[in-house]
């Protein structure tokens, strides 16, 4: 799928798996920040990380998850 400002959010949500329209909008923002031209240019791990960021609403300014306490 070509990464562009007019991406079909319904198609993008399907491409993400089970995503809400808000998550698809956030994913589009994240994709537009990347230098890649197509969604297929991401590795599986990179794509999964983007899906999680989109679902969490996290972006460049998002706070990282709290570290796990030492056992």
Q: What is the pLDDT of residues 21-69, one digit of tens each?
A: 999 999 999 999 999 999 999 999 999 999 999 999 854 444 444 334 4
Per-residue model confidence (pLDDT) at position 12: 95
Per-residue model confidence (pLDDT) at position 57: 82
pLDDT at 13 over 90: yes
For residue 43, count other CB atoms closer than 10 A to its CB: 8
Residue 57 · residue 26 · CB < 8 Å: yes
61 vs 59: CA distance, rounded Å:
5
Q: How confident is the model at residue 18 (pLDDT cuts 50, 70, 90)?
A: confident
């Amino acid at each position: 799928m070509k990464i562009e400002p007019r991406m079909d959010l319904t198609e993008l949500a399907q491409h993400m798996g089970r995503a809400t329209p808000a998550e698809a909008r956030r994913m589009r923002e994240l994709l537009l920040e990347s230098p890649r031209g197509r969604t297929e240019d991401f590795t599986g791990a990179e794509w999964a990380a983007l899906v999680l960021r989109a679902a969490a609403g996290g972006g460049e300014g998002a706070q990282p998850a709290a570290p796990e306490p030492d056992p």
